[in-house]
């Protein structure tokens, strides 16, 4: 088996493609990476068209992608999406910008890391981590990514809460709250002055709408969402 035929982790050298439209920075980056004994820069491109043509055949392990191509971050991010979907290689974004939206768009496009050019000394380690399928988000953007993920989690929670609130009627929420407090269905029927069959029908409707196997699980979910009336405790 030749080195070219070997799998990524069976080879000793990492094949790198660099997309960078600043000629001076490209030369400097090439010279810096050339000092690494396990790096081979096999492709370089300085424009969107050149990069698209050069990267299409694959044959590399890691791509260092300039976010700003043709004075637009959209170009670098769009090319990242193409490269990751077509070749499956690892893309590390290089940029001077710390814009939250650009950072998150880069990761959505399939990038495994996002590095500020000013932190160029971290690039060799990022390349090796990506090559070994153990990419780590650089410290320069980790806080941005973490805060955005937390924000998105909050948005998702509120959306799910609103959907559940619209799905489960006030009466059904009352029944679930009593179940969560340990009341049996018979006790709930007595409290509402209705038949046990009526409560069972309500519970059946709740399980069907929420897709839960038991009323206790449904009740626990509503409690976690904060949908119970605090005055009923």
Burial of 66 (0-12, 13-18, 19+ CB in 10 A): buried
Q: How is residue 42 written in tokens?
A: 């096999």
Q: Where are the domains of the chain?
A: 8-141, 158-232
Average per-residue pLDDT for the chain: 83
pLDDT-derived band at 3 (thresholds 50, 70, 90) equals very low
Name the pLDDT band for 162 (thresholds 50, 70, 90): confident
pTM: 0.58
Radius of gyration of the chain (CA): 27
Are domains 8-141 and 158-232 of this chain identical in fold? no
pLDDT tens readout for residues 121-139: 889 998 998 898 876 666 6
Which H or E run includes 221? helix 215-225
Residue 12 binned pLDDT confidence (cut-offs 50, 70, 90): confident
Residue-wise pLDDT for 74-111, tens only, equals 788 888 888 888 888 899 988 877 777 888 888 888 88
Note the pLDDT of residue 149. Answer: 61
CB 163 within 8 A of CB 211: no
Backbone angles phi, psi at 41, to 5 degrees: -85, 105
Express as a percent the part of the chain with pLDDT over 70: 84
Q: What are phi and psi of 228, to 5 degrees?
A: -90, 150
CATH architecture label of 158-232: Orthogonal Bundle (1.10)
Multiple choice CATH, 8-141, 3.20.20.70, 3.40.50.11750, 3.40.50.2300, 3.10.20.880: 3.40.50.2300
Count of C-beta atoms within a 10 Å radius of residue 160: 12
Tokens of 221: 């979910």
C-alpha 45/C-alpha 155 separation (Å) is 39
Length of the chain: 233
Residue range 186-191: mean pLDDT, rounded:
93
């Amino acid at each position: 088996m030749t080195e070219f035929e070997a799998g990524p982790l069976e080879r000793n050298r990492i094949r790198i493609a660099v997309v960078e439209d600043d000629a001076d920075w490209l030369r400097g980056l090439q010279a810096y990476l050339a000092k690494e004994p396990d790096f081979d820069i096999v492709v370089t491109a300085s424009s969107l068209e050149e990069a698209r043509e050069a990267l299409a055949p694959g044959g590399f392990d890691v791509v260092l992608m300039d976010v700003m191509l043709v004075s637009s971050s959209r170009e670098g991010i769009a090319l990242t999406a193409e490269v990751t979907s077509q070749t499956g290689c690892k893309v590390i974004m290089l940029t001077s910008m710390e814009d939250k939206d650009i950072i998150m768009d880069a990761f959505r496009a399939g990038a495994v890391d996002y590095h500020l050019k000013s932190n160029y000394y971290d690039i060799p380690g990022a390349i090796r981590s990506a090559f070994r399928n153990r990419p780590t988000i650089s410290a320069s953007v980790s806080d941005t990514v973490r805060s955005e993920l937390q924000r998105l989690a909050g948005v998702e929670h509120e959306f799910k809460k609103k959907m559940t609130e619209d799905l489960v009627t006030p009466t059904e929420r009352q029944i679930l709250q009593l179940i969560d407090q340990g009341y049996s269905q018979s006790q709930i029927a007595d409290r509402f002055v209705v038949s046990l069959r009526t409560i069972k029908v309500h519970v059946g409707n709740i399980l069907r709408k929420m897709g839960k196997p038991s009323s206790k699980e449904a009740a626990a979910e509503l409690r976690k969402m904060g949908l119970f009336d605090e005055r009923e405790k």
